[in-house]
Amino acid sequence: MVGVFIAHLIFALVMLGMVTGIIAYLILLERKTAAWIQDRIGPNRVGPQGLLQPLADGVKFILKEEFMPIHADKILFILAPIVIIAPALCGFAVIPWGGDLAAGTALPKFLGGWAFPHTFHVMVANPQIGVLFVIAMASLSVYGVVLAGWASGSKYSFLGGLRATAQMISYEIPMVLSLLSVAVVAGTLRLGPITDLQATYFSSVSFLPAWNVFTQPVAFLLFVTCIFAESNRTPFDLAECEQELVGGYHTEYSSMKFALFFLAEYSAMITGSAVAVALFLGGWHLPWIDQLLYHGAQPVATGWLGMLLKFVVFWGKVIAFLFFYMWVRWTLPRFRFDQLMNLAWRGMIPLSLATFVMASVFVYLRQEGIIEHRGWLLLGNVVLIGIMFAVTELRPADSGNRRMYVLNSRYNPIPASAKAELESAV
């Protein structure tokens, strides 16, 4: 009992250290990626190849002046950075990052050599509501943004907060539905078993691993889009777009409080990527090479060496996904606000509902024993994409970019017909 508690404590500390350490270097990676895409060199002055830059940034953040605007609501102004970072870090607790330790695996000698009596899940916590916990923490992260925007007493912050709230509420719905369509096929909400089910192949001859990204590509696409929107990054960074709102909801923040917003954004990114990896990209599963190592699919329960391998594979995937985040940020331009809302409410929510219904039908047919193979799910997804394009063609043409007529304008004068109607209305 005490051993299990200590093991969980160690896992929690390892995760906290990993996440905060990775955040520091993510900022460097972000700047290096930006430089690479824009054909620059990037930070290269502090340490070899600029590797000590995160340290310099941290010291700079701490030494900067703390500033609070006179119209700010003091309590909420201080509370906001705390409220935004706590759920962002909490969400990581239910991520499985090392499979299982087999029963009988002993701790190293210097830790007492105590052996686990049962199979041990390598994660901080394994509640039966895993996926829902992730969703709950994601839904709480809105408050930090709202409070920061409101408490600053500044128009830029306020507008940024409003935009961010509307966006995060809208994109939460397709995110939840895409997560649920994965959970309903797996038949559980625990993240561990959902990952374990993916550590196999479509069939013995096939070389395609049975990851959820291959069985449910539509859900994956929806989920990835939503986590981009949830963490307020380009192309969804309307809440903090520099050209319009200075810095958005954190305009008035400085010093370490601003750093906390930065940390929260990056830890939300890490948690989002970790959930994407665990639920869609096979988690710790190392495809193809596991057939050489284990002569078959990778086993769920292993000893310490196997766990270490899984740990490396999992974090490798997460970092690759994080790089994808940055790649997108420095490649795609920002949406306009009405495009953003249209995408969520008229595009993604109906599509995610359709995905969810299709996954439920698959589960029903599997229960009845009519279809067995996961390939049917992939086929269903392909059909769904086809239907989506057909419906898009049939839908009445969107008015798209509407022309805004401006009174007394030289460029967009009100047309004569409209003017007559307006006058009659007035």
Partner 1 sequence: MDYALIIATALGAIALYLLLPRGRANMVKLGGLASVLAMGVGITYLIHWTAAAHAGHTGIIENLFFYAFAALALVSAAGVVCHPKPLYAALYFVLMTLAVSGLFIMLMAEFIAVVLIIIYAGAILVTYVFVIMLASQGGQTPAAQYDTNSSDGFMAVFVSFVLLGTVLQAIFCAGPAGFMHSLPAPHAVAHGLGSLEVLGANLYSRYALPLELAGILLTISLVGAVMIARKNEPVAHVLGTGDLPAE
Binding interface with partner 1 (CB under 8 A): 69, 71-73, 76, 127-129, 132-133, 135-136, 139-140, 142-143, 146-147, 149-155, 157-158, 161-162, 165-166, 169, 172, 189, 402-409, 414-415, 418-419, 421-423, 425-426
Closest contact distance (angstroms) between CB of 215 and partner 1 is: 22
Are β-strands 120-121 and 100-101 bridged in parallel, bridged antiparallel, or unpaired? antiparallel
Kindly list the strands in the beta sheet with 301-302, ordered across the sheet, starting from the edge strand earlier in the chain.
120-121, 100-101, 301-302
Nearer to partner 1, 45 or 402 (CB): 402
Nearer to partner 1, 144 or 282 (CB): 144
Helix (H, G, I), strand (E, B) or coil at 115: strand
Nearer to partner 1, 149 or 217 (CB): 149
- Transcribe 215-236 into DSSP letters: H-HHHHHHHHHHHHHHTT-TTS
Q: Is the Cα dihedral 50, 29, 163, 152 positive or negative? A: negative
Closest contact distance (angstroms) between CB of 140 and partner 1 is: 6
Give the separation between CA 54 and CA 61, rounded to whole angstroms.
Answer: 10
Residue 89 tokens read as: 């870090």
Closest contact distance (angstroms) between CB of 67 and partner 1 is: 15
Decide if 381 contacts 359 (C-beta within 8 A). Answer: no
Closest contact distance (angstroms) between CB of 70 and partner 1 is: 8
Closest contact distance (angstroms) between CB of 39 and partner 1 is: 40
Residue 365 tokens read as: 């047919």
Residue 236 tokens read as: 């969804």
Give the separation between CA 176 and CA 171, rounded to whole angstroms.
Answer: 9
Closest contact distance (angstroms) between CB of 72 and partner 1 is: 6
Nearer to partner 1, 22 or 146 (CB): 146
Closest contact distance (angstroms) between CB of 186 and partner 1 is: 13
Helix (H, G, I), strand (E, B) or coil at 302: strand
Closest CA to 138 of 105, 99, 182, 92: 92
Give the separation between CA 212 and CA 363, rounded to whole angstroms.
Answer: 14
Nearer to partner 1, 75 or 111 (CB): 75
Closest CA to 176 of 143, 133, 141: 133
Nearer to partner 1, 157 or 216 (CB): 157
Nearer to partner 1, 58 or 153 (CB): 153
Nearer to partner 1, 271 or 298 (CB): 271
Closest contact distance (angstroms) between CB of 278 and partner 1 is: 18
- Cα separation values, 122 from 89, 95, 99, 193, Å: 18, 9, 6, 12
* Strands (DSSP E) found in 247-349: 301-302
Closest contact distance (angstroms) between CB of 240 and partner 1 is: 17
Decide if 35 contacts 45 (C-beta within 8 A). Answer: no
Closest CA to 182 of 233, 140, 123, 130: 130
Nearer to partner 1, 129 or 390 (CB): 129
